[in-house]
Structure 1
Amino acid sequence: MTPDQLNHALDAMAAAAGDDPNLAPGLITVESGHWVDVLSAVRATCAALNDGLRHREIVIHVGSQQETKVLTRAEAGELGAPYRDLEARA
């Protein structure tokens, strides 16, 4: 997944969710081998350790057992909390 594909996926998911917060983007999972190509290019941030790594206010989990994809809030459950509104692209 390229940075543009990630941003398009987030935008499409947010648009499709409409007024249903359970369908909004809730968690980005990234296979550790994709870290440099995807997340460094989108400039993921971490404002505080307890806030976690985020892109456009969506929590990111990186790991060797992860698949690179975007989950809805319903799919992510508590793993993506605390949820915030999707930040506009910079």
Structure 2
Amino acid sequence: MTPNELDAALDAMAAAAGDNPDLLPGLITVESDHWVYVLSSIGATCASLDDGLRYRDIQVHVSSALGTKVLTRAESGERGAPYRNPRERN
């Protein structure tokens, strides 16, 4: 997955979710080598330890034990919480 493919996947998932917040993007998981060589350029930020690493307000988990994919809020359970809606930000 390239940065452009990640953005397209997030946009498609958000559009398909409609009014169901459980179907919104909830967590981005990235295999560590994929992070180092491909996705580290996406501009993810970490404002605090509680927030964790986030891209487009979606939590990002990087690990050698994870595959690179986007999970819905329902699929991610508590791992992606607290969820944020960028449209609600000031």
Which TM-score applies when normalising by structure 2? Answer: 0.92
Counterpart position of 2:73: 73
- The residue type equivalent to 1:49 in the other structure is L
Counterpart position of 1:13: 13
Matches within 5 A, 1:1-90: 1-86=1-86
- 1:59 CA displacement: 0.2
Cα distance change, pair 32–48 in 1 and its aligned pair in 2 (3 A): same
**C-alpha distance in structure 2 between counterparts of 1:74 and 1:60, whole Å:** 16
Spell out structure 1 runs of 4+ moving beyond 4 A. none
Count of residue pairs brought into register by the alignment: 87
- 1:36 CA displacement: 2.2
- The residue type equivalent to 2:56 in the other structure is R
- The residue type equivalent to 1:28 in the other structure is I
RMSD of aligned residue pairs (Cα, Å): 1.2
Alpha-carbon contact 1:52-1:60 (below 8 Å) kept: yes
Which TM-score applies when normalising by structure 1? Answer: 0.92
Structure 2, unaligned stretches of length 5 or more? none
